[in-house]
Chain A
Amino acid sequence: MEGRPADDSELITRALRGDSAAYEEIVQRYQQIAFRTAYVITGSSADAEDAAQEGFVKAYRALDRFRPGADLRPWLLRIVANEARNRVRSSGRRRQLELRLTEGFRPGDAAPSPEAVALASDERQRLLALVNALSDEDRTVIASRYFLELSGEETAAALGIPEGTVKSRLSRALARLRARVEEAANA
């Protein structure tokens, strides 16, 4: 049907036939989530850009080995995240990931009262500060699952661990964050 965006399998088929425009469409479709995933791992915009770029090139070269019918996104994220981890390992450094809130963010369509916004914003800042203060491992799994909104399968791919480990790691991270939230509330 004219005007219908091509689905991933169509784009893969076309890319496998040598249609580079089809692969460029795949890149455009997934570059944001790939870049942000790499950013969560490296903590650096420059490293994340390099990792995403190299990851997409590697994925293109391996496209003929992509499992037909599988979801493309987790596969791409696995490759990009692996590239990001390799960069962290080879450089021997990892910049501390520090997540920030968008200034003036207002949840929902209906603007709440200034007091409500100020209060909500304050609560958000406090919660994000507690997330930023967690260990790398805890912060990364929480950021992947809740802020990048990756599925369990995608989080496993991004972190290079089994899906079952994602569940247990996330559960422990949430327990530690909950304890810190309660500590802060009682302080």
Chain B
Amino acid sequence: MPDLEEQLAALAPAIDWPLTPTLKVALPTHGVVSREAARRGRRPANNRWILAAAAALLIVATLLAYTPSREAIARWLNLHTTIQRVQNPPTPLPLPPGPLGERLGLGTPTTLENAQSQLAWKIEVPPSLGQPDEVYVKEPPDGPSGGEVTLVYAQRPDFRVSGQTGVSVLVTEARGKVNEVFFQKMLGPGVTIEDVTVKGRPGYWISGSPHDFVFADANGDAHYERLRLATNTLIFDDNGTVIRIEGDMTKSQALELAGSLS
């Protein structure tokens, strides 16, 4: 008698599936890519939304993807991030339609002042980028127990607009309990991760090919349907606040921004 798994495998060709219909997929008359590209070119505001959303998703993807070893967990504990090395990282779903905050799962749009009044800790901003173009807040149960804020910088000189997020820079700051996970990442081939020090505290610089990223909620549950691709990212602990800076930027640019936060 074959074992159970063999018996199940032997059933596969005997399953009576419903007849597969001939799918009639109505495609646009013109190539969707060129049309999308043209639309993005005409409407830069969409790029801002896409960029901010992409940055948020990057963080989440990072956290979701990691099945850390004991040593790795200890290494990343203070960053509330799980990171997993995978050979074939999944290609995320298309981002949902809608404003940037919704598409990237950034939370509720607000102002910097209102965000600060909602959170019990000080929001750090990089002065050299000026005022953020958009600000989002997430609180439990959708975000970490201590809350999360994302600052969106749509287009800034010296910072290319990221193909993943559609904006120049995303800064996400989050705070919660000691063992809480805020972000999950999956790193495939072509992605490098380096130890860095920011303001005397440990951090990591993730660069190269885009990596998968997803946010986790206050329960530490990542929502894989919001998995997205993220571009270069610096993540570090700033006195209990985990700060994540994402953009199509160099390591020195990211470290300079991080060092200027005040």
Contacts and interface: CB of A to CB of B under 8 A. Distances in A.
Contact of A65 (B18, B88, B224, B229): B229
Contacts of A60: 25, 27, 32
B108 interface: no
Interface string A18-40: 11100110010001101110010
Contacts of A142: 8
Chain A: interface size category: 35 or more
Interface in A75-121: 75, 78-79, 82, 99-103, 105, 107
B64 interface: yes
Contacts of B210: 67
Contact of A146 (B12, B22, B30, B65): B12
A53 B67 contact: no
A66 B22 contact: no
B74 interface: no
A160 B91 contact: no
A107 B22 CA distance: 28
Given A70-B91, A157-B90, A57 B27 contact: yes
Contact of B88 (A15, A23, A70, A127): A70
B31 interface: yes
A79 B17 CA distance: 21
Contact of A35 (B21, B37, B65, B67): B21
B120 interface: no
A5 to B, nearest CB: 19
Given A57-B25, A61-B94, A82 B31 contact: no
- Name the 9 nearest CB pairs between A and B, nearest first: A18-B31, A62-B94, A146-B8, A105-B14, A64-B33, A75-B91, A45-B18, A102-B16, A32-B20
